[in-house]
Amino acid sequence: EEDGYELWLRYRPVREAGVVTRHARSIVAPANPSPTVRAAVAELRRGVKGMTGREPGAATRPGAGTIVLGTPATLPAALVPAGMAALGPEGYVVHSAAGGITVIAANSDTGLLYGAFAWLRAASTGAALAGLAQRSAPKLQLRVLNHWDNLDRTVERGYAGESIWNWWALPDVRDRRYVDYARANASLGINGTVLNNVNSKPEILTAPWLAKAAALADVLRPYGIRVYLSARFSTPLELKETATADPLAPEVAAWWRAKADEIYRVIPDFGGFLVKANSEGQPGPQDYRRSHADGANMLAAAVAPHGGVVMWRAFVYAAENPVDRAMQAYDEFKPLDGKFAANVLVQVKNGPIDFQPREPFHPLFGAMPATPLMMEFQVTKEYLGYATHLAYLGTMFEETLRADTERSPGGLTVAQVVEGAQGRPGRPTGMAGVANIGSERTWSGSHFDQANWYAYGRLAWDPQASSRAIAREWAAQTFTREPRALDGIVAMMMDSREAVVNYMTPLGLHHIMGTGHHHGPAPWVADLERPDWNPVYYHKAGRDGIGFDRTAAGSNALAQYAPSLARKYADPRTTPEPLLLWFHHLPWDYPMPSGRTLWAELANRYDQGVAQAQALRAQWTALRPYIDARRHEDVATLLDVQVREAQWWRDACLAYFQSVSGRPLPPGVKAPP
Ligand code: GCW
């Protein structure tokens, strides 16, 4: 019975089993294979056996029906593909050579592993194995998961059970599951993982915990995955090993240098630190009137001799900044452009508030040309219905990545910024995804949430990839290759996030979820201690209208964008409708392009969101003949909840906004019960 544990690596029998067998009778691997090459060969054997029932054997010589893996150093010269240098350290070539030979070539063993997964993806999605000509290299260097996993095994904003890291049993017990985690990530090219929550504890950097992290690093290493840790800025002070955490105090810098040396002794390929500083109560350099750059550079100096990096988060907002929380990161970081050490990346959330169902891109993208900016997406769905609601995030990630920052005359997308288009060549690039992984059987808390892990990984490899193509590729491996079913599943996925936007926060509304847990509607909340935690701060609905004025007449957050973009968005008529109330406060009777008033449009959007959720449910029912019973039922159950909660959102928001607008519900929109 299908329970989702195998993720997209199911390798079920395929109808062209004969063709697959013919191309994979045996595998030729380099002599003295490394653990990474052994993992690649094992995966090929497992995959082919699953798809065909026949496990390929080992061969020593290329010939018809062999898959030959190798680097330019190990392959027979005739089989070395042209242009290997351009592939870099992690790229691969998968191609059909003469004589029925399939070559998987790369410059490193990790590249070979990625190539093996690429071949398996081709075979399991039905690609023509006789004419393969794939060549692919990652566009970003650091493709990292951020686990918000606490040391007590709870997961902040995690909806898939306990942390998969069984800290109690580590370092002695190395759960098999860690290997499956590594396989899944390697299949996407994810090459780093931050094991612990950014709201970090000093203990993680003490010897017993480093031993646990080292055990995980040992398991993950063959799969090309490096371990990183979230570091609490005040660690030496809290461990009482220094008298201050001031980054400019020599004893503090020396402590971190020694700590880095200690870490690299047990984890020789340690990736580096992720830091949340001076944000939501976390300590940081500003506690000592030092800047983010002072803090980041001090840590960067400690890991630099070992080749490590510091990923310094830009998610900052303070109660003392009551005007517009969305502006603070830009205000604090933009002046520091060019001031960070070469091995620091500033990690910026996709939007300026906080992982809302829809946000404009963060204004820092394109505004710090002399600093590597790392994208931070949230794969776990804190604000999009947890693991219950079906919301495929590929479309959301793509929307941000394709946005034009207009920071260059010819256009400059967020993806290009993240790829390093603005900076000096050779500086680090990367993307982080806040993981949705836990110890539940499905890993992600639901079958469809696996697609968000998958889409994140594929977009970290190629930020310009198509979310639709990714959805299709995922669904073909995860559910079925039946074209009609695939069309249906992909259509559901491509619609799903817009449905959530419509029933939660249409037309640019944001942050009106329940306080703290962020699940369900609470636009009426107005009495929290910090003004910027109250939903009313964000929607600003009153008798006169609704929306957050971020034009020059309001907070002027628009001035943080490129002038051409700011000009366009200064006028509600040239602001994209999906962002209208993000940038404008407008009267309830404001005429919308549809011919409706703003109030009527809003009510219609909430209605439409519910209709879309119902449509998802109906589409899934129609797919029943194509999907195994257990997973069909699992998904159906969650879709029932989603329909109910969409209705809840609609009713609650319409009732509340109507109480403020004082307007009757537009014709055709049913009154909340
Ligand atoms: O999204 C918000 C969350 C916090 C989180 C914080 C952050 C880890 O509500 O739970 O803390 O952002 O990104 O630091």
Q: Is the CB of 198 under 6 A from ligand 1?
A: yes
List the strands of the sheet with 26-28, edge to edge. Answer: 57-59, 26-28, 66-70, 101-106, 92-97, 133-136
List the catalytic residues. 280, 354, 382
Q: How many residues does the chain have?
A: 673
For residue 354, give the ligand 1 atom closest to its CA: 1
Please give the structure tokens belonging to residue 29: 């691997």
For residue 383, give the ligand 1 atom closest to its CA: 1
Q: What is the pLDDT of residues 437-489, one digit of tens each?
A: 999 999 999 999 999 999 999 999 999 999 999 999 999 999 999 999 999 99
Q: Is the CB of 381 under 6 A from ligand 1?
A: no
CA pair distance 257, 262, nearest whole angstrom: 9
Percentage of the residues of the chain whose pLDDT score is greater than 70: 99
User: Measured between alpha carbons, how far is residue 266 from residues 34, 166, 206, 561 in Å?
Assistant: 20, 19, 12, 44
For residue 276, give the ligand 1 atom closest to its CA: 14
CA pair distance 226, 250, nearest whole angstrom: 29
Confidence grade of residue 292 (pLDDT, cut at 50, 70, 90): very high
Fold for domain 17-136? Answer: Chitobiase; domain 2 (3.30.379)
**Ligand 1 centroid – CA 651 distance (Å):** 28
Q: What is the pLDDT of residues 183-232, one digit of tens each?
A: 999 999 999 999 999 999 999 999 999 999 999 999 999 999 999 999 99
CA pair distance 631, 637, nearest whole angstrom: 10
**Ligand 1 centroid – CA 515 distance (Å):** 13
SS3 274: strand
Residue written as token pair 């628009």: 558
Mean pLDDT of 505-514: 98
What DSSP line would sit under 577-607, residue for residue? GGGHHHH--B-TTPBPTTSSBHHHHHHHHHH
- The whole-chain average pLDDT of the chain stands at 97
pLDDT at 605: 98
CATH of 142-469, one of 3.40.50.2300, 3.10.20.30, 3.20.20.80, 3.30.1540.10: 3.20.20.80
Q: Phi first, then psi: what are they for 303, rounded to 5°? A: -95, -15
Q: Give the residue, out of 149, 150, 155, 156, with the most ligand 1 atoms within 8 A of its beta carbon, to mutate for a pocket test.
A: 156
Mean pLDDT of 500-519: 97
Residue 479 neighbours by CB distance under 10 Å: 24
CA pair distance 374, 345, nearest whole angstrom: 6
CA pair distance 110, 187, nearest whole angstrom: 11
pLDDT at 321: 66
Q: What is the CATH number of domain 506-548+585-661?
A: 3.90.1330.10
**Ligand 1 centroid – CA 149 distance (Å):** 12
Confidence grade of residue 318 (pLDDT, cut at 50, 70, 90): confident
Look up residue 149 and give its DSSP letter: B
Residue 517 neighbours by CB distance under 10 Å: 11
**Ligand 1 centroid – CA 558 distance (Å):** 24
Each domain of the chain, given as residue ranges in start order, spans 17-136, 142-469, 506-548+585-661
Q: Give the residue, out of 154, 159, 199, with the most ligand 1 atoms within 8 A of its beta carbon, to mutate for a pocket test.
A: 199
Confidence grade of residue 333 (pLDDT, cut at 50, 70, 90): very high
Q: What is the pLDDT of residues 37-91, one digit of tens each?
A: 999 999 999 999 999 999 999 999 999 999 999 999 999 999 999 999 999 999 9
Q: Is the CB of 315 under 6 A from ligand 1?
A: yes
